[in-house]
Structure 1
Amino acid sequence: AEFCQVGKDPRTDMGMRIGLDNLKSGSENETTPLLKGNSDPSSSYKYNNNDPDNLGLNNAKTLQQQNAQPLPFTVETSKISLFATLTFQWFAPLLHLGNSKEQLNPEDLQTLPLPPSCRTSHVSKLFEQYWSQETHNAKTASVARCLAKAYGSDYLCVGVLKLIHDLSVFVGPIVLNQLIQFLRDATATLSTGLLLTLAVTISQIIMCLCLRYFAFKCYLTALRMRTAVVVAVYKKALKLSSAERQRRSTGQIVNLMTVDAQRIGDVASYLHQIWSSALTIILSFYFLWMQLGPSCLGGVAVIVIAIPINKIIVVHMTCLQKVLMKCRDERVEVNSEVLNGIKVIKLQAWEESYTKKILHLRNTELKQLSRYIIANAIQTMAWTAVRLLVALASFAVYTMLGNTLDVANALTALALFDILRYPLSKLPVMVNNLVEAATSLDRVKIFLLSEDRIPLAGAGLESKGIDAGVEISNGTFVYESMKPMMGGVHTKKDSNFFEMDQELLKQVHDGYWEIKLLKAQLKDAEERIVSLSGKEDYRATPASTSISAHYGDNGLKDPNGTTTLVNGTKDEDGEATTETVEDVHPSELLVLRRIDFSCGRGELIAVVGLVGSGKTTFINSMLGEVKALSGTLAVKGRLAYFPQTPFIMNDTLQRNVTFARQAEDFDQGRYDLAISICALEHDIKLLSGGDQTEIGEKGITLSGGQRARVAMARAVYHDADIYLLDDPLAAVDVHVGKHVFQKCIVDELLLRKTPGSMSGLDSERKSSVILVTNAIQYLSNPHVSKIVVLHGGSVAEVGTYNELCSKPGSLFSSFVSILDSERSNGETKGGNEEDSATDDRSEQLTDQSMFIPGRSNSAQSYIYAEYDVEEEDDKDPSLAKPVDEFDSVTALMTNELQEREKGLVDFGNYAAWFKAAGGIFVLILVLIGLVIDRGADVGSTWWLTYWSRHGGEDPYSFLQIYAFINVTAIFAIFARQLFIFLAGLRAAKLLFVELLDVILRAPMSFFDTTPIGRIVNRFSKDVYILDEKLVLALRGFLNALSRVISTIFVIS
């Protein structure tokens, strides 16, 4: 069976799923067990059109432009010479191009050689291949081992370059000793000096070439690892089971794809440094033994003592890192919730309230970050002290053994200690990165091993032999857990409450629910609800919602006021009664019971019911989105799904219909057919750029009906055998709805009799169509094979329109009467214009706002249902967006996409960070620490040289002064490190407050024209860079700058 989603998954914000193929193959129907554990990795979803190369769609380019510039990467890597490879001459054309124009564009990258191994599709497939092997034993599965198998061979090979570099480093001290001996020897020849100078020059050239190419290959491996993790997490997010989606917040998934993926990639830059550092330390002490003899063992003793001390610090940092990432996940999740519900937040003027909530979480995050920063500063000081104390201990032992320092020995020893400086100073950075990477690898592993959606679940019964379509036999379905209202988190004390609280569901005894007790328990627990922040301090804010507003006298109440019984009924007096329930787990809520249903090829079945009757859940059960307790579900054929809220990309209208990435993927005939039968031709003419118009985030430039018809056109274009349509006609007016129903649903999707419809496919092949609708005018159509009436999560009635209407006292007759009354009221208000007066009906008569678990991860959908705030502006013809408004919004989008900084980073950005960090005061403190540190470093070298010349009489006095200089340097380094980190923390705190204030006070036009994902990235990855990476970069810059200045000072 193949699955093709033509809309957005109704319970996840993670995007779209298209082309899931080969779950089961063969001409015979396959029936799979409903009661099944984790799905077999070998039979997991495969995404036909969800190629990782297509994950980042370029919103700034039209389809024709992209096809005209396919980025061929015409330079072949095999034709690049060894010299050009080592000196990066292949990069020169891009540098020249960048120098000749103001900005580089993606098309300019075609000047670069790109081997197949660097393409996203190759990288991700390689990772998936090895990860599928790892998952055969989940207990021993390792993301690190998988990455090593996938990309380790090339990475290990470049270690040879690092080895050559490390060996060449020691040429300098050896030649330095020989040069000093050469200068002392009056009989030495000039050729000896020239050879020594040449040896130093050649060694430096070899070091440079090897190190640069080694670093390039390491960064390339890091990019591959990061890409593999991002794609793996993205694909996994689309396959999570309903229960797992409730446990995994959007913020956590965003952090996995940004922060954790980056950390895992970064570790590739440091793995070779582990053995390299060990080798450098061993060789350094070997050559120190040659210069100082057994005295160098004093330095070895210092390192041995330092290792367990640093281990304690590392363990503590690991714990702090895990807590920090948890706090970061919670904050990013709330940020995402607020951004997705920004329209309602602005309508209710809740900006200040939500600002407090987010800042509360941010303060908790910064508190953990400050602890981590202090631990990091202590670790840096410890390893810096090791570097200085190694030299001090060696010279101290050398002096106490009665030896006299010689200039040649002293300078050679200093050169060797300087070589030791790099591995010892980088060890804390390496340890820090490894700690972060280990934490991230563990988080990614747990996520990738999460339970998948069980596709096409059944009880393993015999095949029913259906030709094509869907068949459910005695199916009972549940949502696996309940998510807190408003997408919030709750306190540890109440962590189990919204999984219906074990105490509440322990009332399930002898197979019965005690409804009154359930209601009483819910009322008692009312004050325990905590929204968004997870802290009881904020439970009285406008977003906090009383549970009694959502629970009726006999079970769950949806926000529109309709009571949905929790496996119970009401008697004539309105009192609650109980009903037998089959095998309900305490953490599960029964939503569909004893479903018997079949839809074969060429059948159009309508599904109707009042709010909360389970229509959407009924459709979701066929997609494997709802856990099944019993029965069988058989699905055969390619599936296409239309959700209640159509998925619209921030791209052109044409791309939203076709998803075509390349010209060869585009079928013009099929596209024209889809546009015609979905009545989009007139709408396209009104758009300024036709079907190449950017229709914005969530289709902001389109009305609700237009968005629905774009999604329907997508269903037509991506041909399928089975169509699951969840109320596709709710947002269109009567005459357009008739056209779409007859021409699209009946003639094309069902009967395939539209001329030229199949574009070369079998035109005799009919499809199965399951249509959820409350539009009664279509139910009497002769092509509607039968009507399924849902009530209380069960199939109440099944039959044709005439059969159900003629049945005395049928639910369907009452349902039709209600709809007739609603339609009459709507017509008296006037207006048959496009999309007018229909969405209100849809809101009342569809179950999209039914309060059930797993329906939404965002606050927005619930608030819309709660306060009856409409997302579309097309309820009345007078409110419809005029063409000039389409143009203005499109212009805003285009301008926003074109606003890219040119040239150097504006100095104002540095000034803003500097001001937020504390200004002149912090700068003075950092500079004082820097001067003391560098002064002590230069002073210790000068003093050692002075000691070797004049220290023969009183070596202990010289040793004491040398020790004082080094201890001063240790505390200066710690103080400088701490000042820099605390200044960065202060800047991160203030800039985050400013960013949050600007975003929440931005006009709606900004959110209409800016993808939410782009804004979320500002609050996730960019904030992480601001918190940690920027400070590390500043520290490195100051260290390098101070060394350059001090070197120039000494030479001068």
Structure 2
Amino acid sequence: MLNWEIELNKHKRGQKASLFKACFRTFGPRYHCVIRLAIPVALGLLVHYLSEWQLLVEKGLVDKNAPFDWNSYRAYIYYCSAVICVVQCINVYVAHPYFFECYRMGMELRVANTNLIYNKALKLSNSAMRNTTVGTIVNLLSNDVNRFDISLVYAHYLVVGPLQMVVIIGLLWWQIGVSCLAGIAVMVLYIPFQGIMGHLFSKIRISSSILTDDRLRLMNEIIPAMRVIKMYVWEKPFGKLVQMARVREIKAIHKAMVLRSINLSIFFISSKLITFLCLIVFILTDGKLTAQNVFVSLSLINQLRDVMTLFFPYALSLGAESLISLQRIQEFLLSEEYVPNQKQIEANPNAGNGVSEKTKTIDTSVDDIDEESKCKISVQNISAEHTSKDGAVTHILNNISFDVNPGKLTVIIGSVGSGKTAVLMAILKELKIKSGSVSVSGKLGYASQESWIFGGTVKENILFGQKFDERKYTRVVHVAALDEDLKQLPAGDQTVVGDRGVTLSGGQRARVSLARTLYSNPDCYLLDDPLSAVDSAVAKHIFEKCIKGYLSSNCVILVTHQLQFIKAADQIVVLNEGKCIAQGDYTQLLKE
């Protein structure tokens, strides 16, 4: 949506962005409403003229068989009847298209927000993905946006309801005088009560959304691991986890249903209570009940009941839930994005990094830093941190520096959580660095620690849409140690692996992912622990044939826990808690 881009530009300038304003500017001008108050008035006049005409006929003052007079009570009866019929016809031709337009606007608002969420999900940075689970995105797309389908149908009653109530009070005063205030007092007390109900609906909506996110996150973790759960007979413990998550969510939904049932119960008793109070007070104040004031009062009170005890509460509850959904979507849309061409960012220097200026330039662009060399990676004093939703800051990297030249193998080692993958993310610009610079010359290729396999054949996963070269393909399959695996598969490389590669083992998925990276033929390779999912013999084959053989002329950064291979590395970087505690070749590290 163009209007959301305007709000997003405000956010970039330091101003507050509002998804509600963007949606209102897009769909608000098309909103309109219809008030049907002519029917009770026409009905009252019809009863009045019928009563007067019948009284005149009984007294013999009017002849029923007299010629028709356009200025008589008999004519006024026809006029009022015609008004009632015309208003009903207008309601058919106006109200139904109006509600159709409301539903259509709700659908368009849902689709527009779905489009924003989808596009934003494709642009999330690595740090934003740490704070956003797949369950949250699924909940936004499947639950939150669906609130807009119905909420727009009743939203205008937040304004129309009180206005229509004022008009109806005036008409009731005309019919039964001050007695109408007895019933209206009940209705006036109902408005702040609905404000409290709307606040409660908002709180319940927030809590239920969080519980739904947790349940979806749990299911997204359990379903891919179902094979492991079955193998270790963990069905009952995980079943209890799912059951507990559902029970917590159902409790929150049950509270919302209790509040809605209270609203509906008030709706069914309100018209009887208001009519009873109005007529009792009218009789006690020596008022004279007639067919006219009774029928008109009942009709007006029924309309007031529909507006203030049904549509107005619906508007409050659905509006409160929609506002919470808008806030959740807005929070997601304002998450940090991945910027592929981030050239210059000013940041405060870290202590001890050797920079004396007040500010410095962070360069994370891909450029040719050495025209003579085809590929090169230079990492200079990079530091990065992660800020969680609650504001807690975690330092991920601290002053990491190294250079990778063509034909040289750089191995990064360290304990779990020491920052090895974070270095690769910084080179890929998936991790926003706070200070320092990363310069890359040439095309990057990345083999992730968690293999990504799509539903298709093994060959399609390796080619990944590129043109097939038989010689190159055969060599890549060989150096990735996939020869024997393809022979064992029922259809060779034409075997369909299924979604997420469910028919392959963990080691096979890792090697298919590695083969895809090799076939793309980049200049620089970032290999995130490709040897962890394979046995020692296969790991030795991949290291000797692939990393030291096939990639001998490229820039290669290998993250690994297999310390038996670091002897062959040209440069070793040892990390601990985001800091570089040792750097050099194997001989230098032994001396140190």
Letter in 2 for 1:157: R
Amino acid at match of 1:466: I
Task: Give the TM-score, by structure 1 length.
Answer: 0.44
Residue 346 (str. 1) matches residue 191 (str. 2): no
User: 2:447 maps to which residue?
Assistant: 642
Residue identity matched to 2:574 = H
Is the contact between residue 606 and residue 772 of structure 1 (CA under 8 Å) also seen in structure 2? no
Partner of 1:597: 403
Matched, 1:789 2:572: yes
Q: Structure 1 residues 808, 716: closer, same or farther in 2, change over 3 A?
A: closer
- Gap change, CA 1:688 and 1:280, over 3 Å in 2: farther
SS of the residue corresponding to residue 270 of structure 1 reads helix
Change (3 A) 1:212 1:653: farther
Matched, 1:608 2:515: no
Distance 1:210 1:408, change over 3 A: same
Deviation of 1:741 after TM superposition, in Å, equals 4.1
Task: Indicate conservation of the 8 Å contact 1:649/1:697, yes or no.
Answer: yes
The alpha-carbon deviation at position 454 of structure 1 amounts to 7.7
For residue 619 of structure 1, what is the aligned residue in structure 2? Answer: 424
Shift of 1:472: 0.8
Structure 2 unaligned spans of 5+: 54-63, 348-359
Q: Which residue of 1 aligns with 2:325?
A: 440
- Secondary structure at the residue paired with 2:223? helix
Deviation at 1:430, TM superposition (A): 1.6
Partner of 2:351: none
Partner Cα separation in structure 2 for residue 615 and residue 260 of structure 1: 37
What percentage of aligned pairs have identical amino acids? 26
Which of the residues 192, 196, 199 maps onto 1:315? 199
Q: C-alpha separation between the residues in 2 aligned to 1:348 and 1:446?
A: 39
1:830 corresponds to which residue? Answer: none
Change (3 A) 1:728 1:386: same
Q: Is the 8 A contact 1:606 1:773 kept in 2?
A: no
Which has the larger Rg? 2
* Secondary structure class of the residue paired with 1:595: strand
Secondary structure class of the residue paired with 1:725: strand
What is the rounded CA distance, in whole Å, between the counterparts of 1:727 and 1:131 in structure 2? 42
Task: Please tell me the root mean square deviation across aligned C-alpha atoms, in Å.
Answer: 4.8
CA contact (8 A) 2:486 2:492 kept: no
Within 5 Å, give how 1:708-719 maps onto structure 2.
Answer: 708=510, 710-711=512-513, 715=517
> Which secondary structure does the structure 2 equivalent of 1:471 belong to?
strand
**Structure 1 residue 233: deviation in Å?**
4.0
Q: Is the 8 A contact 2:448 2:528 kept in 1?
A: yes
8 Å contact from structure 1 (residues 453, 625) kept in 2? yes
1:466 to 369, 378, 384: 369
Question: Where in structure 2 are the equivalents of 1:214-253 lying within 5 Å?
Answer: 214-236=98-120, 245-253=129-137
Q: 1:718 to 1:411 in 2, by over 3 A?
A: farther
1:305 aligns with 2:189: yes
Query: Which digits, 9 at most, give the CA deviation of each residue in 1:684-741, with x for residues without a partner?
Result: 99676986x7532311134556544654565578786654333457768589959994
Distance of 2:260 and 2:540 partners within structure 1: 68
> 8 Å contact 2:414–2:574 — kept in the other structure?
no
* 1:58-69 mapped onto 2 (5 Å cutoff): none
State the aligned residue count.
539
Q: Any conservation in 1 of the 2:455–2:498 contact (CA below 8 Å)?
A: yes
Q: Distance in 2 between matches of 1:634 and 1:370?
A: 56
The one-letter code sitting in structure 2 at the alignment partner of 1:588 is: T
CA contact (8 A) 1:604 1:771 kept: no
The alignment status of 1:267 with 2:151, answered yes or no, reads yes
> Do the aligned partners of residues 371 and 480 (structure 1) sit closer, same or farther apart at CA in structure 2, a change above 3 Å counting?
closer
Specify which of 218, 221, 228 is matched with residue 337 of structure 1: 221
Q: Which runs of 5+ in 1 are unaligned?
A: 1-124, 484-494, 500-586, 660-665, 751-766, 813-1052
Instruction: Confirm or deny: 8 A CA contact 1:138 1:449 kept in the other structure.
Output: no
> Partners in 2 of 1:396 and 1:689 — Cα distance?
88
Q: Is the 8 A contact 1:695 1:702 kept in 2?
A: yes
| Equivalent residue letter for 1:607 | T
Picking from 129, 135, 138, the partner of 2:11 is 135
Work out the CA distance in 2 between the residues paired with 1:744 and 1:411. Answer: 96
Does structure 2 conserve the Cα–Cα contact (< 8 Å) formed by 1:288 and 1:416?
Answer: yes
Partner of 2:56: none
Partner Cα separation in structure 1 for residue 325 and residue 521 of structure 2: 41
8 A Cα contact 1:263 1:440, kept in partner: yes
Measured in 2, the distance between the counterparts of 1:332 and 1:191 equals 68
Displacement of 1:466: 1.0
What is residue 277 of structure 1 aligned with on the other side? 161
8 A Cα contact 1:298 1:394, kept in partner = yes
Aligned equivalents of 1:216, 1:768: Cα separation in 2: 61
1:468-521, Cα deviation, whole Å (9 max, x unpaired):
75321123456667x9xxxxxxxxxxx99xx8xxxxxxxxxxxxxxxxxxxxxx
SS in 2 for 1:423: helix
Residue 135 of structure 1: SS of its match in structure 2? helix
User: Residue 699 of structure 1: which of 483, 495, 501 is its match?
Assistant: 501
Aligned 1:308-707 pairs, distance under 5 A: 308-382=192-266, 385-424=269-308, 425-451=310-336, 460-461=360-361, 466=369, 470-477=377-384, 588=394, 594-599=400-405, 603=406, 605-610=408-413, 612=415, 615-626=420-431, 628=433, 630-635=435-440, 639-650=444-455, 669=467, 678-679=476-477, 695-704=497-506, 707=509
